[in-house]
Amino acid sequence: MPKISKSSKNKPAVKAKKIVNTVQKPAKVIKKPITIEKKIKAPIKISKNYIPKDTEKYMCDKHLSFFKIKLTEWKKELVKANNEALYHGTMDDNSVSADIVDQASSYTDKTVEMKAINRQIKLISKIDQALLRIKDGTFGFCAETAEPIGIKRLMARAVAHLCIAAQEKHEKDEKVYADD
Q: Are 85 and 162 in contact (CB under 8 A)?
A: no
Distance separating alpha carbons of residues 157 and 151, to the nearest angstrom: 10
- Rounded distance, CA 107 to CA 87, Å? 17
The pLDDT value recorded for residue 53 is: 87
Q: Which helix (H) or strand (E) holds 103?
A: helix 100-136
Question: What does pTM read for this prediction?
Answer: 0.67
Q: Is 77 a residue whose pLDDT tops 60?
A: yes
CB 116 within 8 A of CB 140: no
* pLDDT band, residue 102 (cuts 50/70/90): confident
pLDDT band at 28 (very low <50, low <70, confident <90, very high): low
Name the residue with higher pLDDT: 9 or 142: 142
Residue 66, Cβ neighbours under 10 Å: how many? 21
What DSSP character marks residue 148? Answer: B
Q: Report the C-alpha gap between 20 and 16 in whole angstroms.
A: 13
